[in-house]
Structures are given as C-alpha cells and as structure tokens.
Amino acid sequence: MGRVSPLGVQASTATLTREEPLGQSFRALLPFLQSNLSLVAGVVLALLLAGARALSADKDFRRDLQGAIRFLLAFLTFRLAAWALPSTVPETAQKLVQVAWMLTFTFGVIRTGVAVALKVIRLRSPVAIPKILRDVIDFVLYGLAALPIVQSQLDLNLGGLLATSAVLSVVIGLALQETLGNLFAGLSLQLERPYQVGDIIRIGEHAGRVVQIGWRATRISTFRCESVTLPNSMVAKEVVRNFSYGYVPIGADIFVSLSRDTPPNTVKAVVLDVLREIPLILKTPEPQCRTWGYEGASIRYQIRYWVSDFSQADNAMEQIYTQLWYRLRRERIELPIPQQTVHMRQGALEHAEVSRDTVLELLKAVDLFSVLDSRELEQLHQDLVARRFGKGETIIQEGEAGHTFYLVATGEVSVRAGKAQAEVARLQCGQTIGEMSLLTGEPRAATVVALEDSVLLELDRPAFARMFASNPGLAHRLSALLAQRRTQLRAVAANNCGPMDSTPEAGRILDRLRHIFGITG
C-alpha cells in the first residue's frame, strides 16, 4: 500500500486489482473518499449542519443533525490521525484508520440525507415519524455503505465468512427469537400505524398515552401516572383501541339497570337531563340513552356520552353515577335490589333523613307558615317530600318556571343571580327557596346550587291548592305576608329607611293567587 499523504491517502494499485467488482456507483465514490476533496467537503458540511441546527426549532431535526455532526467530527479526527501517524506504524493500523474515516464520513453524509428527507416529510404531513423507523433507515443504509468499503479496503471475502457462520447464525437466531419477534412486530406496527406517540390507546387492560415506540416495546403513561412497557410482539396480538385517531370527540358507554316499574321514556328523560348538567360531557354530539334489554326484575339501559379528551372519560363517568343516584332518588326511580332483601318503606312522606318532630319545628319557624294552625301544619307535613341533592347539583335554574317550594332541612345551598352567576346569598337549615315563583307564577329569579349534600323538603302547587280550598282566608294572609316581604326588600335596595305601603303589592299578589289556584270569593 502507498504511504498516507498529509491530507489524503493514496490507494495501492495492487489493492484495486485484487478487489472484487463493487458496482459502478461505489467505484465512482471511492476515489472521492480517498481524495482531499472529501476533507474539504467534510469541513464545509459540518459547518453548514452546525448553522442549520442553531437556526432550526424542530427538535427532531436538531437531534438528527447532531448525530451527523458527530460523525463528521469523528471523520476529521481520524483524517488528522492518519496524517499524524509515523511511517513506522504497521500497514494494518494505517488501513484501519483509513477505513474509520471513510466510514464516519459516509455515515455523516447518510445521516444528513435522512435528516433532510424526514424534515421534508414532516413539513408535508403532521404525523410524527417514529424513532424506530428512523433507526431502521439509518442502520440499513449504514450497512449497505459499510459492506463495500470494508470489503475493498481490508480485502475481506464477506461471502465466504457468511457461508461459514451459518450454524452460528442459527444459534444466535434461536437465542434472540423473542427479541427479533419484538423487532419485526415493531416494524409491522410502524407500517400499519395503528397509533403514534401522543395518542391515547387501550391495549388489553392497559390504557394511557403513548410516550415511546421503541425497537422492543411500546411505552404508555397511564392515567394513574404509571409507566407501562408492553412488548411489541404482545401488542401485535392484542386488539388496540385508539381514542385519538382523527382527533375527533370520543364516545364512551356505561350501563345501568333500573326498575321495570318506571316507564323507559321517563327514565331516558331523567338520564339525559343529568347528562346535560355535567360540564365534561359535550353537547354535540348529543348524549344518548337507549333501552338495552330486560334482566329479571330490571331494565338495562345504555348511556353513551362524548368527551373532547378520552382522559376525561372516567371523570365524566364518575359524575354521571354520582348525580344520577341523587336524581333517581328524587324521582323515586328504584335501583334493583336482590329479591331476598326485605325493603321496608316509610309511608308516602319518605322523610327518612329528617324526623317528624324536626320537620314540624322547621315548618313552625317559617314566616310563610306562621299563619297556619296546628291542624294545617300537620296536613302540610303530610304533603312534604324529602329531596336529596348532591354537592354541585343545580336545584333551581334562573329564568325557568317554578312549580315547587323548598325548605332547607340539612346542608347548605348557594343562591346565584345575573349573567356572571355571582353568589348573592347562602341558605342553611330552616330557610326557604322558591315560594314567590310557586305562588305567583313568576320565573325563577335566581339559580340555586347545593354546596354540599343537602336534604330539601319540597312542597308543590297542588299542596297549596288543597290548603287554599280548606282555608279560604289563607290566600289573603299569604298575599299580605309576601307583599310585606317584597316591599321591605325593595326598600332596602333603594336605601329607603321610611315606611312603605305594601297594600297595592298585596292586591296584585292576591290576584295572581286567585288566577293560578282558582280561588273565588
């Protein structure tokens, strides 16, 4: 072999004569690799890549360019080492250094070309290129480039070497069959692309966001902030559910079984009303409730709702189950119970949460009922129905028609008004809600929301109608009391400390009572 020149290496004629045919493309590149032009090209390319990396904001492109720059720096190091080697160094060592800088230069150029090609693909498509695919492309091209260089420069017969290592290849293949299975399964997953990094998927019992797709396994981060590594061979055999495909709203299904005694249309109306009150559930597409089948003493219903992000599906499901329990209890829709269980009910009043004596004491303390005698209070007690509301549930909605009156028995509720729904008051045990709308037919003046689990005693319009029928003079007394209360509130709002006449207001309210309840005389 000829001596390595200060800035290049001159290949010996004997080496070129002994080498096997390599193909026209490599024959054309080999003189360039051995010339001083490759050194100049390496320096220029390294500087260009460093500038492009500094200007680019694409982290994948920057990482690919960093790999190319490292190869080129290694090329310059080996090239300078070849120049610095003394003449006494054995020919074999000189050959190895020569092969090293030829390989590093070639790898640097390949890495640069792949980085630019992937950058162009990313500009045309928003789909991320998996790391495993980039690695496969790099290694395949590295191997195709390295084989002719090593074969020509070191005068190796690779065909004979491969033929004599057949038994060793079989042994290695058997030892690494699981690893190779994961590798090829990973390649298959990348070709089919059932998911990509960032997608929310479910594989078997594991659900979470894909954080890495590697050679051997896929790694997901679950909603419990766990990192789960799933071998690609296992993933390829499982059903993969992708909840991010197409980036559209994701639907989720849950099932509930309710009593056969309640008509299905009634149940569906109640369920849909609950779904509309949960902020996490999208209004479009509209949630659905379907009658799904009969199961013994119950009817099975399917509830389908939609969320913008599947990671919120479990939170929405929890709110559905929670609020649905309170609503079903208020609507007296029963959840099925085992047939062997004896379920004792407490009369029509169903004040299981509040004792009779407590209810009577609460009624006596309400100024609206201060005009009633003990017999009328007892009748009113029989007409009351206990309603339990969960924390965060809306009890009354501003602007809606009001047909019920509530007395707070336990818990605390918030009264909110206006477009901003600012809190104007908090009501606790013994305070009332909704009497003006019920008696006069006016829309609700405020929204009322439960701040904690609360029991409210409900009285509807027919109950007041019965009271007015049995006591004709009660309408006059209630209208006078309501008028006095409203007049006082207006005086406070107007900052008027003087007395105000409530008689006109009482007459107006009495006329409304007569019209709504059909009172004559």
Average pLDDT over residues 494-515: 73
In degrees and rounded to multiples of 5, residue 295 shows phi and psi of: -135, 95
Strand order, beta sheet including 298-307: 250-259, 298-307, 288-295
Parallel/antiparallel/unpaired status of strands 404-410 and 385-389: unpaired
pLDDT attached to residue 246: 66
Where do runs of H (alpha helix) occur along 35-176?
A: 36-55, 59-84, 91-124, 131-154, 158-164, 166-175
Share of the chain above pLDDT 70, in %: 79
Token reading at 240? 């993969």
Residue-wise burial string across 489-504, b where 16 or more C-beta atoms lie within 10 A, e elsewhere: eeeeeeeeeeeeebee
> Which of the four CATH numbers 3.30.70.100, 2.130.10.10, 3.20.80.10, 3.30.110.30 does domain 248-330 have?
3.30.70.100
Measured CA distances, 245 to 61, 286, 309, 322 (Å): 25, 20, 12, 30
Give the angle 217-218-222 at the CA atoms, nearest 5°.
135
Asked whether residue 11 carries a pLDDT value surpassing 80, the answer given is: no
Q: Which comes out higher in pLDDT, residue 348 or 354?
A: 354
Residues paired with 154 in a beta bridge:
none
The single-letter code of the amino acid at 44 is V
Asked whether residue 92 carries a pLDDT value surpassing 70, the answer given is: yes
Strand, coil or helix: 330: helix
Give the angle 473-474-479 at the CA atoms, nearest 5°.
110
Residues paired with 256 in a beta bridge:
301
Q: Which comes out higher in pLDDT, residue 521 or 240?
A: 240
Q: Is 150 exposed, middle or buried (0-12, 13-18, 19+ CB in 10 A)?
A: middle
6: pLDDT confidence band, cut at 50, 70 and 90? very low
In degrees and rounded to multiples of 5, residue 196 shows phi and psi of: -145, 170
Indicate if the alpha-carbon torsion angle 54, 55, 58, 60 is positive or negative.
negative
The single-letter code of the amino acid at 397 is Q
Round to whole Å and give the CA distance between 327 and 276: 13
What is the CB-side half-sphere exposure of residue 448 using CA atoms within 13 A?
23
pLDDT attached to residue 220: 93
Strand, coil or helix: 375: helix
Round to whole Å and give the CA distance between 245 and 210: 13
Token reading at 189? 């997953």
122: pLDDT confidence band, cut at 50, 70 and 90? confident
145: pLDDT confidence band, cut at 50, 70 and 90? confident
Going by C-alpha positions, the residue among 105, 107, 132, 111 that lies closest to residue 52 is 111
Average pLDDT over residues 107-111: 88
H/E element holding 197? none
Parallel/antiparallel/unpaired status of strands 385-389 and 432-433: unpaired
10: pLDDT confidence band, cut at 50, 70 and 90? very low
Going by C-alpha positions, the residue among 312, 293, 314, 315 that lies closest to residue 302 is 293
Share of the chain above pLDDT 90, in %: 21
Hey, where are the domains in the chain? 13-164, 179-245, 248-330, 348-460, 472-521
Asked whether residue 339 carries a pLDDT value surpassing 70, the answer given is: no
Domains 248-330 and 348-460 share a fold: no
Instruction: Please state which CATH number belongs to domain 179-245.
Output: 2.30.30.60
503: pLDDT confidence band, cut at 50, 70 and 90? confident
Residue with tokens 């894909």: 210
Residue with tokens 């908090």: 426
Asked whether residue 342 carries a pLDDT value surpassing 60, the answer given is: no
pLDDT attached to residue 494: 62
Identify whether the C-beta of residue 434 lies closer than 8 Å to the C-beta of residue 464: no
90: pLDDT confidence band, cut at 50, 70 and 90? confident
pLDDT in tens, 162-179: 555 555 555 555 555 666
Indicate if the alpha-carbon torsion angle 69, 72, 78, 83 is positive or negative.
negative
pLDDT in tens, 233-250: 888 888 888 888 766 788
pLDDT attached to residue 40: 84
Round to whole Å and give the CA distance between 65 and 46: 9
9: pLDDT confidence band, cut at 50, 70 and 90? very low
> Which of the four CATH numbers 3.40.50.1860, 2.60.40.420, 2.60.120.10, 2.40.110.10 does domain 348-460 have?
2.60.120.10
pLDDT attached to residue 228: 93
Q: What is the mean pLDDT of the chain?
A: 80
pLDDT in tens, 397-437: 999 988 898 999 999 999 998 888 889 889 999 998 888 88
pLDDT attached to residue 18: 41
pLDDT attached to residue 288: 95
pLDDT attached to residue 518: 76
For the entire predicted model, the pTM comes to 0.57
In degrees and rounded to multiples of 5, residue 71 shows phi and psi of: -60, -45
Asked whether residue 311 carries a pLDDT value surpassing 80, the answer given is: yes
